[in-house]
Structure formats: C-alpha cells, structure tokens
Amino acid sequence: MTDRAARQWFDLAFASSPSGMLLLDARGCIQLANDAAARMFGWQPHELSACDVDVLVAPDSRRKLHKLQERFARDGRRRLPRADVELLGQHRAGGEFKIAVGVAIVDGDDGPNVLVSVTNLSRRQRTEARMRSQNDALRDAVTRRTAELEATNTRLLAQIEERRRTERELIAAQKRLQEMNEELRRLALIDDLTGLANRRRFDARFMVEHQRAARSKSALSVVLLDLDHFKPFNDHLGHPAGDACLRRVAAAVAGCLRRPADLVARWGGEEFAAVLPETPSEGATQIARAMRQAVRALAIPHPTAKSGVVTISVGVASLGVTESPSPHALLEAADRALYTAKSRGRDRVCVAVPSKARAAAAEEKGAGQ
C-alpha cells in the first residue's frame, strides 16, 4: 500500500469510526477529532483543533492523564499501556462521565503522534445492565419452563420435544435480532425509497473527500439535481406514481457514475446529489449531461410539463469556483447553479463559474438541447 493510499485509508477510518478518535501531538494538543469524539464531549470537531486535551478530562483525572503523557514523552512506544486507561471525561456543558482511553503511536510529518480512542463507559455500563436484566428475565423464563416440564415427568418424550422447541425459538430470536441490527445499520446509511446513499452518508463522504482534495490539491466536483415540476406530477398521478418515478430516476442517475469513488445520494424529497472526487469541472459537466439525458431517455410521462416527460435541472460546482475553501461554499455554489438552471427554463445543466461578482452560474452551452 502506498503512503497516499495508507493516508486515505487512515483518514476515512478515523472520520467514520463509531468510537471517539483523537489525534494528538507529543505535547497533548489535539490535531484532529472525529464526529463521534466531538459529540461525546459536546463540541464541534473544528472547535477541538489546537485545543489541549485537558479540556476533555475532568479535573480529578488530569493528574492521571499527565502521568500518562509524561510516560509517553519519556518512553514512547516501549511503555504504552497494555489495556485501556479509565478516566473521568468532562462534557462541554460541565457534566462528568467515565471514559476508557486507548493509546497508539502513529508516525506523522513532524514526528510521532498519539492516536487516542475514547469509549463512553457510562453508556456501555447502561447497556451491560440492560443486557444483564434481559438475561435474568430469560433465565427466569427458562427456569419456570423447566420446572413445568419436570412436573410432568410421565411425559418424558413431550418434555424433550418442548426443550428442543424452546431452543429453536431462542436461535430464531437471535437470528431475528441479528437481522434487525444489520437492517438498522443499513438504514442509517441508505435511503429506503431509492436504495441510494442517504443525506447522512453523503455529508460524511463529502467532508472526507473535501478534506482530502484540499490537502492534496486535487480536483473535486459536486452535482445537485432536482426533478422539474415534481409537485404537479404527484398531485395529478398520486404519491405511489411519484415514488415509482423517484426510483427510476435514481437508478438512471446512479447508472451514469462509473468510478467506485463517485457517490450519488438522495439529497431530500426530489433532490439528488453526487460527489465526484478527482473530477474537474469539465468531467463533472459531462456526467451531469449524461444524467440529464438518461432521465429524459426514461420518457416518464408528465401530465403538466411542456416537454410531456419528466426532466431534471442540474447544477455543477467544482473546487476553485468560490473564494472560500469551505465545503459549505462549494455546496452553495452548486445550489446556485441549480437555481439558475431552474430559473432559465429547467431541463438543463448549469455550471458554477468564478467571478468577483460571484455570479452563481453560467448556463452550459447547449445544455437545454
């Protein structure tokens, strides 16, 4: 694995980890914090950047933390703790809670850094208590059932079959629970109607790709699209027809992406969004054109549209189109380009272009044809 690939893998794993993750320098200053860590302590990730890690630890535990830092500074990798260290965390609002801290060393550009994983023990303890209660209830139920079976010792064969039935039910219940957990994990990232990524997954992926593009000075484009006159479509044909239309449009739009790194998501309602890493404006415009043509090729009848069929308006924006390097500015530029496409008659692609007047978008030549 190349250094670049390893870094990309590290960034993705760090950002998407469900556990709280912090990257510290040798002095205990926070360089990076993922969303899980920021939420746990009541901060935003960017607010923790350059803060001392002491702000996340209750005063009673700071002495213990400082000893751990001194040990790292003195011995480095040779004396890392073999197990998680328990401390008292401090929420931004002032509350204290138990945490477990794991430490690892990673090599950075300026020397070794400390990678810290943080687990909220209070939540885990509540989960363990709930599981113990459920186990106790299950044991009580099994005990009662066993007593009933033993009371009918003259029907031994029936007792054996009853035990086997209970075991089968427990296995089936465990399987159903596992399936439910898998479905919950899937629903957390997938739009149920279209099967595309949902807004939550898009936002997380977009932030990772924006950070990577800013760091590596590579291209990044965003495509926002919206179904034209979708409310009248629903009003005339009904919501079941509207849902079927959204599913067909989603499949057509997704089919225009060819690279594994590209991601298309349902942005909300009848809006969709795509993030295109390492794709400059020209390439993103070609993909946007293909999306528009693919939706037109579906020839879904629209009872009120002038074209007679369902169409989309598309806005495209790429890094460098705005003076601000923020992810929000890039999305706003794409949204303004989409608004321009709709205000100029819909069924077209508009591309955001840079200017001192911050003109939102320039209509793509021939986009409406």
Q: Where are the alpha helices (DSSP H) in 259-318?
A: 281-298
Q: 87 — phi, psi (to 5°)?
A: -135, 175
pLDDT attached to residue 78: 58
For 223, which DSSP code? E
Distance (Å) of CA 334 to CA 258, 294, 314: 21, 20, 9
pLDDT attached to residue 358: 47
3-class secondary structure, 279: coil
- Is residue 200 within 8 A of residue 207, CB to CB? The reply is no
pLDDT attached to residue 318: 94
pLDDT attached to residue 369: 39
- Is residue 325 within 8 A of residue 287, CB to CB? The reply is no
pLDDT attached to residue 114: 87
Tens digit of each residue's pLDDT, the chain (369 residues) = 677 777 788 888 888 888 899 998 878 899 999 999 999 999 998 899 889 999 999 998 888 888 877 777 676 655 566 678 889 999 999 899 999 988 888 877 777 788 899 999 887 777 778 888 888 888 888 888 878 777 766 777 877 888 888 888 888 888 887 877 776 666 678 999 999 999 999 999 999 999 999 999 999 999 999 999 999 999 999 999 999 999 999 999 999 998 999 999 999 999 999 999 999 999 999 999 999 999 999 999 999 999 999 999 999 999 977 777 789 999 999 999 999 999 999 999 999 987 543 444 445 444 443
- Is residue 283 within 8 A of residue 199, CB to CB? The reply is no
pLDDT attached to residue 76: 61
pLDDT attached to residue 184: 65
pLDDT attached to residue 356: 45
Q: Is 270 a catalytic residue?
A: yes
Start-to-end CA distance of the chain, whole Å, equals 46
Rounded Cα–Cα distance for residues 203 and 168 (Å): 42
Q: What does the DSSP assignment read for 71-115?
A: HHHHHGGGG--SSPEEEEEE-TTS-EEEEEEEEEEEEETTEEEEE
Query: Which among 178, 261, 192 has a CA at the least distance from the CA of 8?
Result: 261
Q: How many residues would you count in the chain?
A: 369
**165-171 CB contacts, 8 Å cutoff, 24+ apart:** 166/142
The region, left, alpha or beta by phi > 0 then psi within -120 to 50, assigned to residue 88 is: beta
Rounded Cα–Cα distance for residues 47 and 38 (Å): 9
* Among 270, 271, 282, 332, the one annotated catalytic: 270
Chain centroid to Cα 302, Å, comes to: 34
pLDDT attached to residue 325: 77
pLDDT attached to residue 28: 84
pLDDT attached to residue 218: 93
The helix (H) or strand (E) run that includes residue 351 is: strand 349-351
pTM, 2 dp:
0.50
